[in-house]
Amino acid sequence: MAPYGTEPESNGRRRDLIAAGVFLVVAFSTLFLSQPTQQTISTGLQVSVLRPFMGVQRRLAAARIRAAQADSMLARIDSLSEMLASHSALVDENRTLRGLLELSERAGPQYLPATVLRPGTPGSESMFIVDVGRRDGIRNNAPVVGPFGLVGVIREVREGDAVGMDWTHPDFRASAMLEDGSAFGLVERDPGDFREEDRLVLNGIPFNLEVVEGAMVVTSGLGGIYPRGIPIGRVGGQNDAEGEWRKSYWLEPVVQPGAATHVLVLTEGASPGVSGLWAPDSIR
């Protein structure tokens, strides 16, 4: 019995040439057929041999259309989200400016409106610049306030502007009291692991005094820097107790320094008491 082997390469090539020639003859001959006959052959091929390929082509075309529609929809959603975010930011800014305008009207000319600028350099996160200075009557240690309460204090005054620090600065201190005057203490910053975790703490509250959560803490006027009555924050809970003679409490600040863009700065000769400037419904 003769051994089985592969087909010679010349035979395979000859078969391919013959098949190609047949297809060419058939294709060329269709050019001389009548139009109805060509249409009949085309229809027959589409519903038989070419049907799977045409189905794949239709599915690919439909997929491209769906992809284009999805991209268009995503673009519309992104545009709408951007519009909503811008609208929300404008609403917040308008509310802040309206509150500052009302506060300025109640405070009178001894409080100068100013715009807050942040240096944006490493190590200066707790500092800010206001666009009023010595020529406007600003002095060192002038309190800086917003529509909701205390923002910070001026540390350096220049001719046309001034540098201040907010409550997140390590050196921030403010003599404070409960709004009803039942207890006095000192408010200072308690640093967290990250700047976003910095908190305010009210120290020096008598041990036997129970302070309810939500109680407002304001400046006491002691120390000669902050006038009496500027809102600082609300009691958020007890922090610690030292023995049995005093306690400290966490505060939820009424002002987030990073959100303060427009403020009022007290000038020389300002009133020592400002408790009537912040209406209860204007404080967070």
Residue where a domain stops, chosen among 107, 123, 145: 107
**Looking at 76, 107, 138, which one is the last position of a domain?**
107
Percentage of residues in the chain with pLDDT exceeding 70? 68
* Same domain membership, residue 215 and residue 252: yes
Q: Say whether both 42 and 152 belong to one domain.
A: no
Give tens-digit pLDDT for 148-167.
889 999 999 999 999 999 99
Q: Is 90 part of any domain?
A: yes
Number of separate domains in the chain: 2
Tell whether 127 and 255 lie within a shared domain: yes
> Which residues make beta-bridge pairs with 184?
177
The alpha-helical segments, DSSP class H, found in 131-265 are none
Co-location of 52 and 154 in the same domain: no
Average pLDDT over residues 24-45: 68
Average pLDDT, the chain: 78
Question: What's the pLDDT score for residue 195?
Answer: 66
- Mean pLDDT to the nearest integer, 24-47: 68
pLDDT, tens digit, 9 for 90 and up, residues 111-145: 888 889 988 777 788 899 999 999 988 999 999 98
Residue 78 belongs to some domain of the structure: yes
- The DSSP 8-state label assigned to residue 258 in this structure reads G
Residue 195 within any structural domain of the chain:
yes
Model pLDDT, residue 103: 64
Report helix, strand or coil for 86.
helix
The whole-number pLDDT of residue 202 equals 93
CATH of the domain at 252: 2.40.10.350
State pLDDT tens for residues 67-115: 777 777 777 777 766 766 555 555 555 565 566 566 666 666 788 888 8
Within a domain: 10: no
pLDDT band (50, 70, 90) for residue 262: confident
**Which pLDDT value is given to residue 193?**
67
Phi, psi of 134 (to 5 degrees): -60, -40
Q: What span, in angstroms and rounded, lies between the C-alpha atoms of 78 and 89?
A: 16
Residue 149 lies in a domain: yes
- Domain shared by 103 and 170, yes or no: no
* Whole-number pLDDT of residue 112: 86
**Is 91 in the same domain as 114?**
no
Query: Could you tell me if 228 and 274 are in contact, meaning their C-beta atoms sit under 8 angstroms apart?
Result: yes
Rounded CA separation 234/248 (Å): 13
Q: Which two tokens stand for residue 40?
A: 């009949």
Q: Is 67 exposed, middle or buried (0-12, 13-18, 19+ CB in 10 A)?
A: exposed
Question: What's phi and psi for 244, nearest 5 deg?
Answer: -130, 35
**221 and 135 share a domain?**
yes
Domain boundary among 65, 85, 107: 107
Query: Residue 12 above 90 pLDDT?
Result: no
Residue 23 lies in a domain: no
3-class DSSP string for 99-168: HHHHHHHHHCCCEEEEEEECCCCCCCCCEEEECCCHHHCCCCCCEEECCCCEEEEEEEECCCCEEEEECC
Domain extent for 255: 110-282
Cα R_g (the chain), whole angstroms: 39
Q: By C-alpha distance, which of 211, 216, 276 is closest to 252?
A: 216
Query: Does 5 reside within a domain?
Result: no
